Amino acid sequence: MKILAVDTTTRSCSVSVVQGKSLLAEITTVRKQTHSKHLMEMINRAMGLSGLALSELDGFAVTRGPGTFTGLRIGISSVKGLSAASGKPVVGVSSLDALAMQASLFPYLICPLIDARRGEVYFSRYRFRNGRLKKEAEEQVFPPEKAVFDLDEACLFIGDGALLYQKTILNKIGKSAFFASSFQNTIRASTVAYLSMNRFKNDDTDDVGMFVPHYIRRSDAELNLMPS
């Protein structure tokens, strides 16, 4: 199974090409520019490094959100364009699932946090059970203090939201809070690819025409139009 995967959830942008359990190429960058400035160049470079042609791929994987509205639209529209051009299927992967998967089999609760701006975070909760990642809560958006207020056990926080609100989390739950290593907080496209594999194998792919980002909340533009 040969998969090209893309993540544009946050300020970071990541592209990878995997073949089965082997990572053939991966490029990840963090820039102030919009992802539209460099994503296609990164895709072309990753494909070149992998030694594969677009026609040799079995499909495309992309983070569907939650995350930044503009970033998600850029990543998903680019992948949908590649799918239309090649006729290859697409699988969308939760950005929170991807972050949790990067928690390296942490034995307790895992809470990925993605900065949602406006003083809020996107979050969910997970555990590894028998070596498999299990989701234990819906994906939600709340201020960070509300996202952690009911936690009474050891928990690993991971993601750019965990970095941004580390002091808030520590003030709320103290020694029960653990934080991922710095390199784990950036979503890697290879993680997205591996999470998509079973769905590709089971022909459980997304309808490309109907596939849209999973935002969770309204955009900033929509929120600004709402009466106060």
Mean pLDDT of 158-179: 96
Whether residue 131 has pLDDT greater than 90: no
- Domain 2-95+187-225 identical in fold to domain 103-184: yes
Number of other CB atoms surrounding residue 108 within 10 Å = 13
Find all residues with CB under 8 Å of 55, minimum gap 6, and list them.
86
Pairing of strands 120-123, 59-65: unpaired
Mean pLDDT of 154-180: 96
Q: How is residue 130 annotated by DSSP?
A: T
**Nearest residue to 92 via CA among 77, 111, 114:** 77
User: Residue 226: what pLDDT?
Assistant: 44
Q: How many whole angstroms from its chain centre is CA 104? A: 16
pLDDT tens digits, 82-106: 999 999 999 999 999 999 999 988 8
Confidence of residue 217 (pLDDT cuts 50, 70, 90): confident
Whether residue 228 has pLDDT greater than 50: no
* Rounded Cα gap, residues 1 and 169, in angstroms: 40
User: Residue 153: what pLDDT?
Assistant: 95
150 and 173 Cβ atoms separated by less than 8 Å? no
User: Residue 218: what pLDDT?
Assistant: 66
- The DSSP element (H or E) to which 6 belongs, if any, is strand 2-7
pLDDT tens digits, 57-84: 999 999 999 999 999 999 999 999 999 9
Mean pLDDT of 140-144: 97
Mean of all residue pLDDT scores within the chain: 93
103-184 — its CATH code? 3.30.420.40
Q: Is residue 138 classed as helix, strand or coil in its secondary structure?
A: coil
pTM for this predicted structure: 0.93
The residues spanned by each domain of the chain are 2-95+187-225, 103-184
Which listed CATH number (3.40.800.20, 3.40.50.2300, 3.30.420.40, 3.90.190.20) goes with 2-95+187-225? 3.30.420.40
Mean pLDDT of 27-42: 91
**Nearest residue to 16 via CA among 39, 60, 46:** 46
153 and 178 Cβ atoms separated by less than 8 Å? no
